[in-house]
Every structure is written in structure tokens, then in C-alpha cells.
Structure 1
Amino acid sequence: MSSSVTLSAATRQNLLSLQDTSALTATTQNRLATGLKVSSALDNPVNFFTAQSFNSRSGDLNSLLDSISNGIQTIQAANQGITSIQKLIDSAKSTANQALSTQITTTGTAGTAYATTSSATSVKLYVNGQATTASIASNSTIDGAITALNTAAGSTMFSKDTTGTKIVLNASAAVEFATTAGQSALGFATGTTSAATVAKYGTGNDVVTSGTNLTVAGVDTRAKLAEQYNSLLTQITQLAKDSSFNGVNLISNSDPSNKLHIAFNERDTANLDIQGQDLTADGLLLTSITGNSGTSVNGQGNFLLDTDIKGTLTKLTAGSDTLRSASSTFGSNLSVVQNRQDFTKRLVNILDTGASNLTNADLNEEAANSQALSTRQSLGISALSLANQAQQGILQLLR
């Protein structure tokens, strides 16, 4: 004897409809809860794995964005360093121009009258460090001595005072005597030998101090300006070495290994290498001003000669040109990297949107579906009740 319950066709149909409605309701509620219409490969394998591919590439590109951002900061640090170095070079130019405008003079009148000598006299002078010797003939008058001195100096810097007996020195240069004998032979008070004057203009080229009758102006001022210039060069080098970001410095040296590598895609098939440059004082070919200059040790340093100062200004101008060129290069690279950063951000957004389109549910649609299914379920229950009313009539007859 069968123990199954026999349902009428109408009842069974209504029951199946309620079951279908219940399944659809469960699916809709799951989509509303998760926001996804494809939450696993079982829902839609093509959409699921395609969306995973999009999300994977989006994640890779997002990781690259951090590297690109660091690259931008590194370039900006280098560019800021260049800007600050340019200001220091401008200060160095100002210092050199100030030295050039500082006049060097040697002035004074002999303390005693010129006295003729019975024998020829040689007076060795250094005019701005350049050695020259005036040969004064025996029994030469003061006029003859002055002529010999001016001929040796290459300039009319010696003359006589109003009395016509004393020699006057008025030069737009640093004029120094090699010996005290030369000073006394012209009637000037003698100086002394000091550590600063021994071998002042090279080995064996000693000088003596000016003495009380002569005043040399401008040399010390230029020497102090040279010290300021050297300090600025030190600051340029230090600033260049401090212009780093995340351990990368693009202006401290030009070594081939000193470069910034920025990858623009996950396979590194699109990238940019930015080579570092040496923008220190040495890299800009700016040399310190010392006590000596030129190819030989002659003591003509510390901005003593106008030609040296002009040469320094030429080097500073060349250094400025190098900085401008480097700034242009870094600026161009920065533009490229920023453009790729913007492109990558937009591409990530496109990939994320594409993945969402494949897997995300339309919550407005699912909410409407939920309301419709709720209504359908209520109607199904009512229909099932109506289908059972015929059997309830038979039950009344049995009673």
C-alpha cells in the first residue's frame, strides 16, 4: 500500500510555482547582499574569469603607481636642487663681480728725498705678482730713476712730489718690493719679511711688506671675497648631494649606475631611464680660488688679477648653462612620467569598471525583482489555498 500523498494537478502546479519563486527570491537576496551577480565561476565562468583577469592587471598597475609616484618625487627633488644651486651660482657671480669692481691701488710718498748713487742700482718689483726689475744708472737723477721705474712697470705709476725731491707711487695695482734695499734706494721706509711674503709669488720669489710710506688697498678685500666665493662652492656641492629622494640622487654624480628606472607597465616593456648628472661644484667645473692660480705656482690668486676674475665669471656662466640644460632635461622627463601616471590611473579605472560590469549586480533591478517576487509569492500562496478548497468541500460531505 502506497504511503505517498496524492496532490491534485492544480495543487501540484501551484506548489512548483512557489518553489521556483522561492529559489528566485534566494538568488535575488544573495545579489542584494553581496552586490554581485557573478560571485563564483558557477554563476558565469566566462564573466568570472575575465573579471579576475581585469582585476589582476588593475592590481599590478596600482602597484606600479607607487613606483611612478616615487619617481616623480625623485625628479622634483633633483629639480629643486638645480633651482637652489642656480641661486648659489648667482650669489657667486655677485661675489666675483664685487671683487672685479674692487680697485687695487698702491699709493704713497717716499719718506726721504731721492739720493743719487755712485753705482748702478737694480730695484726688483712685483706688479700684481708679475716680477720686473728697474735698472737705475749710476749718478741718475730722480727723473732718470722715475723713467727707469715706469719703463720696468709698463705704466706711469712713479712720479715726484711737489718739492721735486721725493718719489711718489700711485698705481692701480699691487706693487711690492722684493728687498728692503730696493725700498731704501728710492727713499721709502723699509718693510720686513713675514711668513706671508716668503715665496709669495713662487719658489724663491720673496717680497717684503710695504713699510710705513706705502699703502696697498683692495688686495685684502678681494681675498676675503675669494673666501666667500669658495664657501659658496662648498654649499653648491653639499646642496647637490642633499637633493635625494628615497635614496636616489640624480644630481650628485654622473656615474652610469646612477640612474632612475621607472616601469610603466606590469611587464616592464614600457619604461624610462633617467641618467644622473654631476651638478656639484666639480661637475660644473667650478674651482676654488686659492693663493695661486694659473698653470704655475705664482701666488696670483685670491682674485688678485682681473683676468682671473673674468675667467671665473666665464666658468660661472657656463655652469648656469649646464644647470639650465639639466633642468630642461629633467623637466621633459617629469612631464613624461606625470603623463604616464595619469594614463595609468585612468587605465586602472577602466579595468575596474570593466570587471564591475561583468560581475556587479544592478541593485535597482534586484530590489525591484525582490518586490515582484514577494508579491508573486503571496499570490502563489493564495492560489494554492484556492486549489485546496475543492477537497475541503468533500470533507464537509463526510461530516
Structure 2
Amino acid sequence: MSSEVTLSAATRQNLLSLQDTAALSSTTQNRLSTGKKVSSALDNPVNFFTAQSLSNRSSDLGTLLDSISNGVQTIQAANQGLTSIQKLVDSAKSTANQALATQLNTSGTAGAAFSAAAGTINLQVNGTAVSTTLTASDTIDTTIAKLNAVVGPQGAGNAFSKDTTGTKIVVSAGADLEFSTPGDQTALGFTSGTANSGPQYGTTSTAGQSSNLTVTGVKERAALAKQYNSLLTQIDQLAKDSSFNGTNLLSSSATTNKLHISFNEKDTSNLDVQGVDATSVGLSLTAITGNSGASSNGQGNFLIDNDVKTTLTSLTNASSTLRSQASTFGSNLSVVQNRQDFTKNLQNVLDTGASKLTDADLNEEAANSQALSTRQSLGISALSLANTAQQGILQLLR
């Protein structure tokens, strides 16, 4: 005796229809809850793995964006450093121009009347040694002529003259004029200065400044030279501080240090930003030294106008170098920022493409859900109608 339930053809057909509707409804509900029409490789292998590949590349580009952003900040830090260094160079240029505008002057009248004596008078004009030989028969006028003949070509002009009495030598020079030894001072009637007590330039001077003479401009220029050297120190410190995240494109070692920025996940597209040496040494700016400096004649401290002009030329060249370096960094920054925007847009394109392959249209799925709900109600009603004949027999049995 069979225990199986026998369904009519109409009932079985309606039952299958209800099962299909339930399956579709389940799929629709899953899409509505996850927002995905392809949530696994079983749903659509091609779309699933293609979308996964696109998402993976988008993720890789997102990681690169962090590196690119660091690169942008590093270049901006270097560019800001160059801008600040340029201001310091301009300040140094102003200091040098101030030194050039500070006039050197030596003036005074001998304390004693001139007395002819044979011998050599050794002088230094702005640190340059000159000398002239006097004879016992030289008059004060002859002596003055000889002295002017040797100091004039060094920029002191006709520094020597005589006072109104015609007996004493007068000095009026637009330069730092010094005697090399105490004997050179007293031979012309000037009071001997205390050794090493006054402004001294050159390598042979042992005489301090005579109390009969006044020198102006030397100490002022020396103070400006010290200020100039301080600015060079600030340039070095600023260059060393222009770093970001441990990378410095302006330090003294920057020429061997470069910033590498990758623009794609395989590093086949990249940019190398070469560092520069923006320190005072890298800009060919040297500190101003005095008698203890490396100059063979001991000149320094902005004493010589030509030396100051040479310094100004170096500063002008440094400004040009800084502008060129800033232009290069600016160009590199423009490239990196452009690639940063491109990478962001490409990442959006990849994410959008992946979404189109796997994301569900929620409006469509909501409409499907409503339609399936209606279909399910109709299916139940149809199933009820299919069982009407059996219900009639049941009524007869009752």
C-alpha cells in the first residue's frame, strides 16, 4: 500500500510556481540587505573576479596616495625653506651694501713738528703695505709729496698735507691709513701708539693707533661683517631644518639624497626629486674674516671695497641659484600634485567600475520585492483554487 501523497497536476504546477517565487524573493531580499547583486563567485564568476581585481588596484593606489601626499609635503617644505633662505640672502646683501656705504676715514695732526731724518716710512692703506724712503735733506713738502705718491694709488688720495703753521703733517684720508711700526709714526711727528691697541690690518703692523689719529668706519664695517657671518649661520640652520618626515632636500647632504615618488603599483611610473645644497657652502658664500682669517694679507671685515663688491656678486649669484632651485622644485611639485589628482580620479573610476559589476540597483530590487510579494499572494490563491475539486469531495463526505 503506497503512503505517498498524490498531488494533482494543477496543484503541483502551482506549488512549483510558489517555490520559484520564494527563491526569487530570497534572492531579492539578500540583494536589498547586502546591496550586492554579485556577492560571491557563485553568483557571477566573471563579474565577481573582475570587480575584485578593480577593487584591489584601487586599494593599491590608495596606499600610493599616502606616499604621494608625503612627497608633496616634502617638496613644499623644501620650497618654503628656499623662500626663507632667499630672504636671508637679501638681508645679507643689504648688510654688504651698508658696509660699502660706510666710509673709511683717517684724520689727525701730528703732535710734533716735522724734523727731517733719513729712513724708510712703512704704511698700510686698507691693509696693503706701502713704503717710501726719506732723506735727511727732505723738506716737509718733499716728504708729503713722497707719502702721497705711495698712498694715493691705494685709494687714500692726497692723504698727507701740512697744517696752517707749515710745520706739522696733517692726515686726511678716505681710507684706513696705519703706520707699520711705532718708529714710522714718530719719524713724522706723530705720537707713538700702544702696540696692538688700535685698528690693525695686514700682517706686518705692530704699531697701535697713534693718539693723534682718528680712524672711523673700520669698527662699523667689522660689526657689519659679524652681522653678515651671523646671517650665513642662520642660512645653514634653516637649510638643515627644512625637512619633512625625515627627508631634507636642502641640507648639505641633499645632493646625494633624493626623493623617490611612485605613481603606480609597479613603480614603472615615478619621479625622482633631486635634493640641492642650499647651505652657505652650497651657495658659495664664505664668512668674512679679519686678521686671523685665511687671507694672505690679513685683510677682512669688509675693509676693502672691492672685497665687499665681490661678496655682493656672490650674493647675487646665490639669489639666482635659489630662484633656479625654487623653479625646479615648483615644477616637480606641479607634476606630483597633478599625479595626485589623477590617482584620486582613477581610484574613483576603478571603484565605480567595480560597483557597476557587483552592486544591486536597490530601486529595481525594491520593485521586484513588491512584485514577488504580489505574485506569492496570487500563487497561494491559485493553489487554493487548484484544490477546489478535492474540497468538494470532502464536503460530500461530510
User: Scaled by the length of structure 2, what TM-score is found?
Assistant: 0.96
Alignment of structure 1 residues 1-399 onto 2, 5 Å: 1-117=1-117, 120-154=118-152, 155-194=157-196, 200-202=201-203, 205-253=204-252, 257-292=256-291, 296-399=295-398
Q: Return the alpha-carbon distance in structure 1 between the equivalents of residues 65 and 264 of structure 2.
A: 10
Deviation at 1:129, TM superposition (A): 0.8
AA aligned to 2:80 is: Q
State the SS of the aligned residue for 1:159. strand
Unaligned runs of 5+ residues in structure 1 are none
RMSD of aligned C-alpha atoms? Answer: 1.6
CA distance in 1, matches of 2:113, 2:136: 17
Measured in 2, the distance between the counterparts of 1:273 and 1:18 equals 66
Supply the distance in 2 between the matched residues of 1:223 and 1:255 (Cα, whole angstroms): 33
Query: Match of 1:113, SS?
Result: coil
Compared with structure 1, are the counterparts of its residues 255 and 77 closer, same or farther at alpha carbon in structure 2 (3 Å cutoff)? closer
Separation of aligned partners in 2, 1:70 and 1:284? 27
Distance in 1, matches of 2:252 and 2:126, equals: 38
User: 1:110·1:186 contact (CA, 8 Å) conserved in 2?
Assistant: yes
Paired residue type of 2:336: V
1:312 is paired with a residue whose SS is helix
Distance 1:152 1:256 in 2: 49
Q: Render the CA deviation track for 1:181-209: whole Å, top value 9, x for unaligned.
A: 221222212101127778x522xx12312
Compared CA separation, residues 64 and 123, structure 1 to 2 (3 A): same
Contact 2:197–2:208 under 8 Å retained in 1: no
Distance in 2 between the 1:110 and 1:201 partners?
23
Deviation at 1:342, TM superposition (A): 0.8
**In the aligned structure 1, how far is the partner of 2:392 from the partner of 2:116?**
164
- Residues 127 and 173 in structure 1, CA contact (< 8 A), matched pair in contact too: yes
Q: Which runs of 4+ in 1 moved over 6 A?
A: 195-198
Distance 2:253 2:307 in 1: 28
After TM superposition, give the deviation of residue 257 of structure 1 in Å: 3.8
Counterpart contact for 2:197–2:209, Cα < 8 Å: no
**Greater displacement, 121-130 / 39-48:** 121-130
> Which digits, 9 at most, give the CA deviation of each residue in 1:295-321, with x for residues without a partner?
852111010000000000000011111
The number of residues matched between the two structures is: 394
Unaligned runs of 5+ in 2: none
Separation in 2, partners of 1:392, 1:307? 124
Offset of residue 389 of structure 1: 2.2
Query: How far off is 1:372 after superposition?
Result: 0.7
CA contact under 8 A between 1:197 and 1:206: conserved in structure 2?
A: no
Which deviates more, 295-304 or 367-376? 295-304
By how many angstroms is 1:5 displaced? Answer: 1.3
Q: Distance in 1 between matches of 2:295 and 2:67?
A: 52
Distance in 2, Cα, partners of 1:396 & 1:296: 130
Structure 2 distance, partners of 1:288, 1:296, is 12
Q: Residue type matched to 2:314 in 1?
A: K
Alpha-carbon distance in 2 for matches of 1:267, 1:242: 33
